[in-house]
A and B are shown apart, each in its own frame.
Chain A
Amino acid sequence: MVLKRPPEPKWLGARWVPPATVALCLVPLAVLIGQALTGALFPNPIEALVRGLGDWTLRLLLLTLAITPARRLTGWTRLVRLRRTIGLITFAYAVLHVLAYVGLDQAFHLPTLWADITKRAFIILGMVSFAILAVLAATSPKAVVRRLGGRRWRRLHRLIYPAAILGVIHHAMMVRAGWGTAGEHAVILALLLVLRLPKPRLAGVFGGRGGAEG
């Protein structure tokens, strides 16, 4: 595989790129809040809000997972500094998704919540995924990374794969019939996971000779 890669664009290192990424990632939240306030989520706004936040949590989680393959395909190393930013925003969406479910949908009704997190498989999977994201968010500040050491940090942060897989299953299990967007998420996730295989194995998957490329 010999690919002519375009050189890394200069603007990727510019100071405005991280704040612009944050702003862009917050657009869906602004749209959802706007829709909720103007009645556009009628006639079941709470359900639409919980689902909208869940959908965007998954999309951003997939985007976070897409950074490394994108870097490998393009060779643009500075993409990596956006990974933590997008990952943290993903967690923020997950927090809002859980809060909307607990506070708006169930109105803090403890018996229902307790039954949900002890009995309902799709909620349990979602909660486990959420717990993983919380651990990853808590260990993302640079000081914590230094304390953990690079290797331990990297190993810990591989938990993002099970978190993403559980998240996609959580979504798929909620659907009453067919796959819909849950199926699309599953396909994208599978593709992203395959793209992360070490290069020789990746070449094997795509039927190449493997290992020969620099």
Chain B
Amino acid sequence: LAPLEVTGTTHRVDEALTDYEAVTTYNNFYEFGAGKEDPAENAHTLKPRPWTLSVDGLVARPRTFDVADLLATQPLEERIYRLRCVEAWSMVIPWIGFPLAALLDRVEPLGSARYVRFESLIDDERMPPRNRAPISYPYVEGLRLDEARHDLTLLAVGLYGEVLPNQSGAPIRLVVPWKYGFKSIKSVVRISLVEDRPLNTWQALQPSEYGFYANVNPEVDHPRWSQARERRIGEFFRRETLMFNGYGEAVADLYRDLDLTKWY
């Protein structure tokens, strides 16, 4: 995998990095299977280059970006974030990418835009149907515009100094570190600025278990398991889960008027 040039490390949690091997073999990427080991085994068919990313909807300048051009024109930063899965495991991953806000600036969202809708690739050749877990495709996610513009919200194109391996959502994926991992949609092909709250894939599938916001919250349990503690991959004992995955200082303000029990 090709190395990537970065300007520096702009965010860093002072915790041990999760092994590269674990980061790239323990994945949820249902287009390639429901088992954690399936994406690493099956995602070789993805062909992440060339790749285009359309940004459309309520914007002054809708555009289709070539991801190779984006890599050449956007300064890339390394950011070491915690990743907390809704299944109560977590990792620490050194991502490489650029703020989503930088991309949004280039298309100039209109005043009527309130949400951002993301869509993953779905392609029978590059994601053979025989591998897919039975959920609806394309995978869809969404953020409120202020969440999308938040400085922590990253479009990642690499990890551990290299371009993203296919199973990690090559060539470009979202990373929202204070939300459960399923919000961080992989292999994005389309970003749309919209007026109404998008219905994200997991909420559509099981609304009693997965909401739109999906902020990491140790006090609001998933109906089938507690979210109070998590297993950091590579550690034996579980650790306490932190509110907003430890990013409360930076993001709590976004939700000061929101009942987090209702808007889970």
Contacts and interface: CB of A to CB of B under 8 A. Distances in A.
Given A43-B25, A107-B238, A120-B225, A177 B205 contact: yes
Nearest to A104: B236
B30 interface: yes
Contacts of B238: 106-107, 109
Given A177-B133, A177-B135, A44 B36 contact: yes
A44 to B, nearest CB: 6
A170 to B, nearest CB: 11
B70 to A, nearest CB: 31
Choose among B36, B89, B224, B236 the residue with the greatest number of A CB atoms under 10 Å from its CB: B224
A173 interface: yes
Contacts of A173: 224
Contacts of B34: 175-178, 180
Given A176-B34, A177-B135, A43 B234 contact: yes
A43 B19 contact: yes
A153 interface: no
A139 B111 CA distance: 72
Interface in A104-144: 106-107, 109, 111-112, 115-116, 119-122
B224 A112 contact: no
A177 B132 CA distance: 11
Contacts of A109: 229, 238
B231 interface: yes
A174 interface: yes
User: Chain B interface: which size bin?
Assistant: 20 to 34
A46 interface: yes
A98 B19 CA distance: 29
Nearest to A113: B226
B113 interface: no
Given A44-B26, A176-B34, A122 B224 contact: yes
Interface residues of A, number: 24
A177 B223 CA distance: 15
A44 B229 contact: no
Given A112-B228, A177-B34, A43 B26 contact: yes
Given A44-B36, A44-B89, A178-B34, A112 B231 contact: no
B151 interface: no
B6 to A, nearest CB: 26
Contact of A44 (B30, B221, B233): B233
Contacts of A106: 238
Contacts of B229: 109, 112
Nearest to A175: B34
Nearest to B23: A43
B24 to A, nearest CB: 10
19 contacts: A42-B22, A43-B233, A46-B231, A47-B89, A107-B238, A109-B229, A111-B228, A112-B226, A115-B221, A115-B226, A116-B226, A120-B223, A120-B225, A122-B224, A173-B224, A175-B34, A177-B30, A177-B135, A180-B34
Interface of A: 42-44, 46-47, 106-107, 109, 111-112, 115-116, 119-122, 173-180
Given A42-B25, A120-B224, A178-B34, 11 more contacts: A42-B22, A43-B19, A43-B26, A44-B233, A107-B238, A109-B238, A116-B226, A122-B224, A175-B34, A177-B30, A177-B134
Interface of B: 19, 21-22, 25-26, 30, 34, 36, 87, 89, 133-135, 205, 221, 223-226, 228-229, 231, 233-234, 236-238
Q: Closest 6 CB pairs between A and B?
A: A43-B22, A178-B134, A43-B26, A177-B135, A43-B233, A178-B133
